[in-house]
Structure 1
Amino acid sequence: MKNNSMYTSIDALTYNNTLLLYPDPLGVSVNVTCIAMIGGVNYSQSVILHAPSSPPNNVRGFILNATSIQVNWTTLLDTGYVIEYTNGGVSRNLVSISEDQIVLIDLSPMSTYTISLYSYIDLPSVNSTLTVLKFDVPSPVTSLSVSNVSTTGITVNWTIPSSDNYVTYYTISYTPSCPQLSSVNETVSVAPHQSTTTYSYTLIGLYSGMNYTVTVRAGNVLGASNSSIISSKTSLSSKNILL
């Protein structure tokens, strides 16, 4: 409870008045009391206004199409939410009442959006939950490496370079060094994510003792990233070793 008092005098003929309240960042309850004097007798009416102790959490953005983003969050004991989002230009504000998601439309592709989410009960939260979403094709994957090399398989590992990327699939292409053999393209759908988690994918059915050029691209509904490339060679099968 914030124990600051403020008194405002209201004319006897005024029935509506606006009070400017500054909620505490840690949450506050404000007791507003209206006192009227009629015939020398004081009459009072009080109301307690509550503010959230913290902003919403688990705020995540999902690209729906070339102009829309869906934003989800975990609901708290709040009355409603205010979203502020900008791509570096003029901020835009939306209010969503008693919902845990909202769709932002008419956005500019190939932009990075900063999304701030505030909650309120009677009063708003001072702090917001901030998330950044790159409304663009993903950046190329990094830390591309191979492991678990066998006669017929290679495991490829990579990392998303930044947490503001939004990825829904990966395309893995591998080309054998023998010109008579064709390249193979495989697309792997993944749960939408923005983390920098390392991902792995195992190529199987390869030729033993063969050099392969492996290309990995991250993608979403807006398209695919530039390619990241690595080369590796499968182990030589014992059947191919001359004694």
Structure 2
Amino acid sequence: MTTTESDIDALDFHGQALPCAACRHRDWLAEGACRPGQACVHDRYARRIDRFFSWHPELAADYLEHPYFEARAVAAKYAPVFRLLPLLDDPDETVRWSAAARLPQRHLLRLRDDPHREVRIRVAHRLQGSELESMRHDTDYYVRLVVARRLPEHRLGLLLNDPEPQVRRELARRLDSSRLICLAADEDAEVRLEVARRLPPHLLVWLCGDADWRVRYAVTERIAPKQLAALLADPDPEVHALAHERLAQCREPPFPTDHQGEQHG
């Protein structure tokens, strides 16, 4: 059964009843400017905290040192940027992650080695140039994948020897087609398949003997007709059937051989 927001009890982060009587904003209750169970800065549910700050963004800076990490993280979305720098040293990764979304790039450099991968992933999504390149050796493959997706094409060669196949597959999708031959002998079949889909047709002969039938099939779909002979005897029935089909199409005469279209006197 799906849980909805209304199913979540309105409690504070200690699991206790909301402290409305002692809250500094208690006078707002009558005005509807805060609503227990919907918009409350003391609620343990982040969506209700977020709704409170969306109504009162001017209060966000007052909660950047709140003892509850969700309150600090949500407040970081609304507080003035110049107040966020101390959050880079916050003990909770959710807060650092939230601050990293808004701080200028020069302040993010210290988070490139953050112990939490989600923080480093966010940093990789925001850094540019040489600062982004510096994350290509990150221990987490997904951080490196983000780098591979965002680096300029002419710098992708820096990742050609990455140990993670998913990273190299991204290179095979993004590299200039003239440089794809560098990955034609990759140990991962999915990488070679991406290469076969993009390599210039005159270079596909390098993949005619690939160990994976899917790669050879992709080659057969795109290779120049004069090079199809290498695939006519392929051990895979789908590959050699396609090779014969393409070759037959290439040999069809350009005009009808009967005389049905001729005029008779």
TM, length-normalised to structure 1: 0.27
Higher helix share: 2
Higher relative contact order (CA 8 A, sep 6+): 1
Higher strand share: 1
TM, length-normalised to structure 2: 0.25
